[in-house]
């Protein structure tokens, strides 16, 4: 790691599979170091040579490159489902996530995500892992025919399925949530 940091920060190049990539001097390199159990600056002395900045608040989320529909963006998936959860729409509604993302919705998605992910000294990687794990769980859940509340009208278990849908989504959210805001429903 010391060698990689030295090449990247001081010599300003990276080599990978016999290819060398040079970085110009007009390119700023920012390395995010989490505040955790051990001190990276003691382990990697080269980091002490550079200016430090503490991030009080992460920059706003932005739509993933190439994502046009909600189901192509983990941020949009999690934002939409958290909004549905808060509005009580998980029980009865068939949730389709294949509609276009509006760029104006990104701040709304961030609002709902931040409501469930709120930690001191948070970093971008923690937040994105929270989002990616939840988006995978939500996608798999909504593809399951067993949780489709219209699936079994004949047996009269529709009420049970609706309660289970709300409960399962709640458990996904709060098993992954870093902090637990006031639960709704």
pLDDT of residue 95: 73
Q: Taking 60 as the threshold, does the pLDDT of residue 181 lie above it?
A: no
Q: Strand runs (DSSP E) across 47-154, as ranges?
A: none
Pairwise pLDDT comparison (152 vs 112), residue with the higher score: 112
Q: What is the mean pLDDT of residues 5-29?
A: 75
- Closest Cα to residue 53, out of 26, 37, 28, 32? 32
What are the domain boundaries of the chain?
2-49, 70-176
Percent of the chain with pLDDT over 90: 1
pTM: 0.65
* Digit-coded pLDDT (tens) for 77-91: 888 888 888 888 776
With contact defined as beta carbons under 8 Å apart, do 5 and 48 qualify?
no
Cα 121 versus chain centre, distance = 16
Q: Taking 80 as the threshold, does the pLDDT of residue 75 lie above it?
A: yes
Of the chain, the end-to-end C-alpha distance in Å amounts to 47
With contact defined as beta carbons under 8 Å apart, do 21 and 14 qualify?
yes
């Amino acid at each position: 790691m010391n060698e990689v940091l030295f090449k990247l920060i001081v010599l300003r190049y990276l080599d990978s599979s016999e290819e060398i990539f040079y970085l110009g001097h007009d390119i700023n390199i920012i390395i995010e170091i989490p505040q955790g159990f051990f001190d990276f600056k003691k382990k990697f002395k080269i980091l002490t040579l550079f200016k430090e900045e503490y991030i009080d608040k992460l920059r706003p989320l932005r739509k993933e490159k190439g994502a046009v529909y909600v189901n192509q963006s983990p941020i949009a998936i999690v934002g939409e489902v958290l909004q549905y959860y808060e509005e009580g729409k998980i029980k009865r509604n068939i949730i389709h996530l294949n509609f276009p993302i509006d760029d104006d919705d990104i701040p709304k998605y961030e609002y709902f995500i931040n409501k469930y992910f709120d930690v001191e000294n948070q970093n971008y990687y923690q937040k994105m892992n929270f989002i990616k794990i939840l988006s995978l769980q939500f996608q798999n859940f909504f593809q399951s025919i067993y949780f489709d509340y219209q699936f079994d009208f004949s047996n009269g278990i529709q009420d049970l399925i609706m309660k289970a849908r709300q409960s399962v989504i709640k458990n996904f959210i709060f098993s992954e949530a870093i902090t637990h805001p006031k639960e709704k429903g």
